[in-house]
Amino acid sequence: MENSNSKSERLRKERDEAEHDKAIMQRLLNRAAAEIEQLADADCDEDSKDQALAAAKRFRRAATP
């Protein structure tokens, strides 16, 4: 049976790992949004461009803490 200190340490470690994973996902979403915006500006018709920019906006909103 775990004592209180080791359980607290385990939970702290799990929290830190989750926060690290969250930060990585936020960076990936922001990078994806930037790439979508860049590609949409390159050579898309207006409807496709609007859809791509809306997706980029959703990605940025999801990446916001």
Q: Where are the domains of the chain?
A: 4-63
Question: In terms of Cα–Cα distance, which of 29, 35, 39, 36 is closest to 60?
Answer: 29
Dig out the tokens for 38 from the structure.
């860049």
- pLDDT (tens digit, 9 = 90+) per residue, 12-52? 999 999 999 999 999 999 999 999 988 887 778 888 888 98
Say if residues 54 and 15 touch (Cβ distance below 8 Å): no
pTM check: above 0.85? no
pLDDT for 33: 92
Say if residues 20 and 12 touch (Cβ distance below 8 Å): no
What's the average model confidence in pLDDT over 5-14? Answer: 93
